[in-house]
Amino acid sequence: MDPFAKLWATQATNEHAERYSRAVSSYEALAHRLRNRFFYDTFKNLIKENKIEVMMNFGCGFSMYPFTLDPAVLFVEIDTEDVIHFKQQKTNSWQDKGVLPKRNVKFVSADFNSQSLDELYKRLLPLCEGKKTFILIEGVLFFLGRDDTTRLFHLFSRLQKKNDFVGSVSFQPSLEKQRVFSRLIDFVEVNLEKNQQFNYQTVADEFYTSAEGYRLTEHQDTISLAARYSPDITLAEEEILNEHMYLLQKC
């Protein structure tokens, strides 16, 4: 579905993905594709309706949305310094060689664990002030604490205006009781760098239904998206790391 994702594949990343799939859940590749498809369709529709001018991807990792979406949009890729440095270098070089289509992409490094996000606010505001924005945060909240998450959503609210969107992905607390979740935690802990700290986070629906200044306009999960996009696949639900996708709109 994403023709450019394969650009990042190496023997090491393929082996890591296979080890992860064997150790945690064989449905992970499907779950990732489903959430990408959901957001891709959401972006496409909103862009067509002229509702997005700037898309900011917090914790973008190596996702490649900019290169399959409308070139009129400004894409702001935000992640840690090492990810941003590597991604910027590679994507610029692939655009120069014609491997990737040209897009207007800005790269911003940040640490979401910082006590203050004022610096990040000052860097992002000139890119999005007065524009219609979509903020995406997918695959990230699991790695952050509640204070960091609250600070980030406060930042989103400062950057956005009425009718702008936030798309967020998280696990619900009920998943913590499932064996597939324990396997995820074990896998992440074994793969931590030496001395690296890790506290996982799950997020209840109330966090989104009570987000100040926003209303929840859509809520999907891996299982509902599988029914929409892959109705022929039979799912062993207890084997799925069920992710929840929330679409919020600023009031």
Ligand X SMILES: C[S@@+](CC[C@H](N)C(=O)[O-])C[C@H]1O[C@@H](n2cnc3c(N)ncnc32)[C@H](O)[C@@H]1O
- Closest approach, Cβ 78 to ligand X, in A, equals 7
Evaluate whether 148 touches 120 at the Cβ level (below 8 Å): no
Q: CA of 36: how far to CAs of 72, 90, 109, 120, in Å? A: 21, 21, 22, 26
- Integer Cα distance of 189 and 181 in angstroms: 12
- Closest approach, Cβ 33 to ligand X, in A, equals 11
Pick the closer one to ligand X by CB: 14 or 113: 113
**Which parts of this chain interact with ligand X (CB under 6 A)?**
59-61, 63, 79-80, 83, 110-113, 138-140, 143
Strands 243-250 and 214-221: antiparallel
Pick the closer one to ligand X by CB: 160 or 170: 170
- Integer Cα distance of 180 and 20 in angstroms: 12
- Closest approach, Cβ 199 to ligand X, in A, equals 12
- Integer Cα distance of 192 and 174 in angstroms: 25
Pick the closer one to ligand X by CB: 59 or 66: 59
Pick the closer one to ligand X by CB: 139 or 213: 139
- Closest approach, Cβ 107 to ligand X, in A, equals 13
- Closest approach, Cβ 109 to ligand X, in A, equals 8
Evaluate whether 74 touches 54 at the Cβ level (below 8 Å): yes
Strands 133-137 and 104-109: unpaired
- Closest approach, Cβ 213 to ligand X, in A, equals 23
- Integer Cα distance of 149 and 147 in angstroms: 5
CB-neighbour burial class of residue 106 (10 A; exposed 0-12, middle 13-18, buried 19+): middle
Pick the closer one to ligand X by CB: 62 or 207: 62
C-alpha angle with apex 164: 158 to 169, nearest 5 degrees? 90
Pick the closer one to ligand X by CB: 96 or 147: 147
Q: Which residue is nearest to ligand X (CB)?
A: 61
Q: In 69-145, which residue ranges form alpha helices assigned H by DSSP? A: 81-96, 118-128
- Closest approach, Cβ 90 to ligand X, in A, equals 14
Pick the closer one to ligand X by CB: 89 or 163: 89
